[in-house]
Chains A and B, each alone.
Chain A
Amino acid sequence: MEEVKIVNLGLPNLALAYGLVLLTIGLARLRRIGQEGEIMWSSVRMVVQLFAVGYLLHLVFDVRSPLAVIAILLAMAGFALQIMGARISHRMPHFYRVMGIAILIGCGGVTFLFCGLVVGYSPWYEPRYLIPLAGMIVGNAMNGASLAAERLGAEIHERRDEIETALCLGATSRQAADTAVRHAFRAALMPTTNTMAAMGIVSLPGMMTGQILSGIEPIVAVRYQIAIMCAITGAVAITAFLVLFQGYRSYFTKAHQLTEEEYTGQ
């Protein structure tokens, strides 16, 4: 295959692109939507965060130490947890423990399975593969886990009369929570299912676009995209499942009772 050289973006080119953000700010000011400050701040954050991560990756790619790679993966999971904790409105009891275990097992398991068995490069910690792939997997699993946790909390809250009726009729907490768990699982899987169905028609996925831009044969890029979508789907499903499986218990006591916060609706 002929070597394709990607055009390197220099600072003047970047400045030109940033002009589009300034144009947006100008438009916002013109229409007085009062968001200029926020747009400005967000764009600065984006630039700083991306450059920081770029240099960090540069460093890690150079060092090629498995410890550094693992540290980055754990930091990723940590940030994902913190982001989920900050945005969710129904935070279940033992939230961080439940979510942490789910992300570690769900994402960790799928990432290593995928990188080791499917892509099969060596060494196993090759940061050029492991870090971006893990990033995509964790990012998607984080959304799935948030949706699962949020929906589970809302469902249990809304269905508390139904759940207590089932308990009165002899149901275990697991049986009583079954409908709520089912709905939450469905909600968690929906975005990934939709993305798979729309892929290639509605959206050209980012990873594939990136690979094509950097000169990879489209068919190879497509194969990677299919593989990573499968990995994402699996990671989302396993993570959400673990969140729900541990999570519903935190709304019940061992004596098959809803916890006080739930039955009093506080």
Chain B
Amino acid sequence: MAGDTQHVSIQLENVAVVRRGGDGRKVPILSDISFSAKSGEITAIVGPSGGGKSSLIRLINRLSDPTGGTIYLDGEDISGLDPLRLRRRVAMAPQKPIMFEGTVLDNLLLPFRYRQEPLPASDGPEVAHALELARLDPELLDRDSRTLSLGQQQRASLARALITRPRVLLLDEPTSALDRPTADHLAATLHDICRSQQLTVILVTHDLRLTEKIADHLVYLEAGRIREAGRAVDLLSNPQSPELRRFLAEPDAKEF
């Protein structure tokens, strides 16, 4: 059943976002976006800033809705799904790891509290599972969440997103605020989670080091359109489109 473990879980078909500009004109943000992401794989959406990456990823858990096209989760059109239920299957850790008032444990339990579900015990399997996946030190559970370092907050945010055992994980620039060793560490963690949990990971980044390290698939987005997509190793070593070539050739592209 090898085919079953690698099934397509998220699929976008001709997705478009058009926004009203300040002068009432319609501004295309995303046009004709089609790609799919498989479980157990990491799909990186890469491109220069302002190209529509963040607008794209937020469509997948319905933080906003596209103006055209369809997005499928396991074959189901997500526009027909209750957003609150969808967000339980499709978790997202936004760009800034925001910690709410209270301890780290309080933060980890928020997804249950919001949904008015019974809270798991602090020494129970759910909390332990989330801590282990995000490699967050259990000693930190009782700490005031706002006293954590940025790297620890990033991990706490990841644990909080994973504690309800979602099928899809969306990450917006997970490493942008981290120094290089911390970022590499987080990248390794993400890679392991994706494989061990058969999670579908879609991440937005302009960090080529991160992409090179962990991405299976690469979708290169520039000015609201996909310029090239395919296996990450192929695209990084042998880019076909002039846009991706230019992006890879930028002197500081490998930095960050």
Interface residues of chain A, those whose CB is within 8 Å of chain B, are 161-162, 164-172, 175, 255-258, 260, 263-264, 266
The answer to whether B88 and A168 have CB atoms under 8 Å apart is: no
Knowing A161-B94, A266-B22, the reply to whether A260 touches B64 (Cβ < 8 A) is yes
Knowing A168-B94, A170-B111, the reply to whether A263 touches B61 (Cβ < 8 A) is no
**Is B135 on the interface with A (CB-CB < 8 A)?**
no
Contacts of B161 in A (CB 8 A): 168-169
Contacts of A260 in B (CB 8 A): 19-20, 64
Contacts of A255 in B (CB 8 A): 62, 65, 83
Determine the residue in chain A with the shortest Cβ distance to B19. A260
Which residue of the partner chain, among A162, A170, A263, A264, contacts B115 with CB atoms under 8 Å?
Answer: A170
Knowing A162-B100, A175-B114, A266-B22, the reply to whether A170 touches B84 (Cβ < 8 A) is yes
Distance (whole angstroms) from the CB of B66 to the closest CB of chain A: 12
**Bound-state Cα–Cα, A165 to B22, Å:** 27
The answer to whether B160 and A263 have CB atoms under 8 Å apart is: no
Contacts of B65 in A (CB 8 A): 255, 257
**Is B191 on the interface with A (CB-CB < 8 A)?**
no
Which residue of the partner chain, among A162, A172, A175, A257, contacts B63 with CB atoms under 8 Å?
Answer: A257
The 7 closest A-B pairs by CB, nearest first: A171-B114, A168-B92, A165-B98, A170-B114, A255-B83, A169-B111, A170-B115
**Is B129 on the interface with A (CB-CB < 8 A)?**
no
Contacts of B98 in A (CB 8 A): 161-162, 165
**Bound-state Cα–Cα, A162 to B63, Å:** 13
Knowing A162-B98, A260-B19, the reply to whether A168 touches B63 (Cβ < 8 A) is yes
Which residue of the partner chain, among A168, A263, A264, A266, contacts B87 with CB atoms under 8 Å?
Answer: A168
11 pairs, CB–CB < 8 Å, chain A vs chain B = A166-B100, A168-B61, A168-B161, A169-B110, A169-B161, A170-B111, A170-B115, A255-B62, A255-B65, A255-B83, A257-B64
**Bound-state Cα–Cα, A101 to B110, Å:** 34
Interface residues of chain B, those whose CB is within 8 Å of chain A, are 19-20, 22, 58, 61-65, 83-84, 87-88, 91-94, 96, 98, 100, 110-111, 114-115, 160-161, 164
The answer to whether A256 and B114 have CB atoms under 8 Å apart is: no
The answer to whether B96 and A161 have CB atoms under 8 Å apart is: yes
The answer to whether A170 and B164 have CB atoms under 8 Å apart is: yes
**Bound-state Cα–Cα, A169 to B106, Å:** 13
Distance (whole angstroms) from the CB of B49 to the closest CB of chain A: 15
Contacts of B93 in A (CB 8 A): 168
The answer to whether B19 and A256 have CB atoms under 8 Å apart is: no
**Bound-state Cα–Cα, A175 to B116, Å:** 11
Contacts of B84 in A (CB 8 A): 170, 172, 256
Contacts of B83 in A (CB 8 A): 255-257
Distance (whole angstroms) from the CB of A132 to the closest CB of chain B: 45
Distance (whole angstroms) from the CB of B70 to the closest CB of chain A: 16
Determine the residue in chain B with the shortest Cβ distance to A256. B83
Contacts of A175 in B (CB 8 A): 114
The answer to whether A164 and B19 have CB atoms under 8 Å apart is: no
**Bound-state Cα–Cα, A170 to B65, Å:** 17
Q: Which of A162, A169, A172, A260 has the most CB of B within 10 A?
A: A169
Distance (whole angstroms) from the CB of A190 to the closest CB of chain B: 21
Which residue of the partner chain, among A162, A165, A166, A264, contacts B19 with CB atoms under 8 Å?
Answer: A264
Contacts of B110 in A (CB 8 A): 166, 169, 171
Determine the residue in chain A with the shortest Cβ distance to B81. A255
**Bound-state Cα–Cα, A260 to B55, Å:** 11
Contacts of B64 in A (CB 8 A): 257, 260, 263
**Bound-state Cα–Cα, A167 to B92, Å:** 10
Q: Which of A172, A175, A255, A256 has the most CB of B within 10 A?
A: A255
Determine the residue in chain B with the shortest Cβ distance to A254. B83
